[in-house]
Amino acid sequence: MTVPTTDDGHRDGRSLHERIAADLRDRIMTGDLAPGVKLPSTARLKEQFAASNATIQKALQLLKDERLVVGRAGSAVTVREHRQQTVRPAASTAPRSDGEPYPWLPEGHAGRAWRSRLLTVGEVVPPADVAAALRLAAGDTAIHRSQVLTVDGEPVELVHTYYPPEVARGTALAQRQRVKGGSPALLAELGLRIVRCVDLVTARVPTQEQYEALRLPGDLPVLRTLRVAYAASAAGERPVEATVMTKAGHLYELRYEFHPDLASPAGGPAPSD
């Protein structure tokens, strides 16, 4: 397989099996290799990539470890039915009733066993970007809650949520317990109805905590979303919640819907961050 180089001659320095896995991963994630479809045979992959049998097997093992394909030695390797899932962030702030699925569940997870495991609750100095989002001064503390969200026993998201102390102290948000109906419902009860959320999404190499909590197979990037929720106040909007959500980048995609005319001069100014 011939790989084009850039004008300055820069080439992919990864090992051959990593490059093969990357190309196959892309075909899986774009849908060219759909769920249930068999991957090309080892013989065909050897010819396509000019690689040995051992190299092809190492590439396939990476994809198996990433839960993108399934198959045993000597049998066809197929794309898993539950591959990359779509998450609609706009639905995640809606309150829910007891017994209802969490609104963060991806479209393909309906009917599967979901669970939220609370890890820690306390008062901490938040990361700098969170402090800035909540308009806290350097060294100020925030009420912090962390949890891992699982589906069918598999971790799907690591969540760290922060609240200004004057908002959360003395409420269920500061206690080691589940928040009935979720934080949007509790904030609304406090007179802090969320009117706007702003997401900042980045792809990053996983931290040690993320690697272990999400049971990641390697250094594939994670999707990190910093979501800031604003409530209406007499002086305008105020930030009342900042959440850092981390998902495995190769298993989840985020779907945002918007109307371009709303952000154009004719449609009025777009909301500022």
- Collapsing DSSP to helix, strand or coil, 140 comes out as coil
> Is the model more confident about 124 or about 93?
124
Any residues with CB less than 8 A from the CB of 202 and at least 6 apart, and which?
223, 224, 226
Question: Hey, is 165 helix, strand or coil?
Answer: helix
Rounded Cα distance, 225 and 230, in Å = 16
- Helix (H) / strand (E) element for 60: namely helix 53-65
135 or 98, higher pLDDT = 135
Separation CA 244–CA 115 (nearest Å): 18
Is residue 94's pLDDT more than 70? Answer: no
The answer to whether 71 and 78 have CB atoms below 8 angstroms apart is yes
State the DSSP H helix or E strand holding residue 114, giving kind and residue range, or none if neither: strand 114-124
pLDDT digits (tens, 9 = 90+) for 131-152: 999 999 999 999 999 999 988 8
State the pLDDT confidence band at 252, using cuts at 50, 70 and 90.
Answer: confident
User: Which is it for the CA torsion 91, 98, 149, 252, positive or negative?
Assistant: negative
pLDDT in tens, 189-244: 999 999 999 999 999 999 999 999 999 988 789 999 999 999 988 778 999 999 99
Name the CA radius of gyration of the chain, rounded: 22
Tens digits of per-residue pLDDT, 110-136? 566 778 899 999 999 999 999 999 999
Query: Which residue from 177, 187, 127, 119 is spatially nearest to 147, judged by alpha carbons?
Result: 119
Partners of 161 in beta bridges: 145, 243
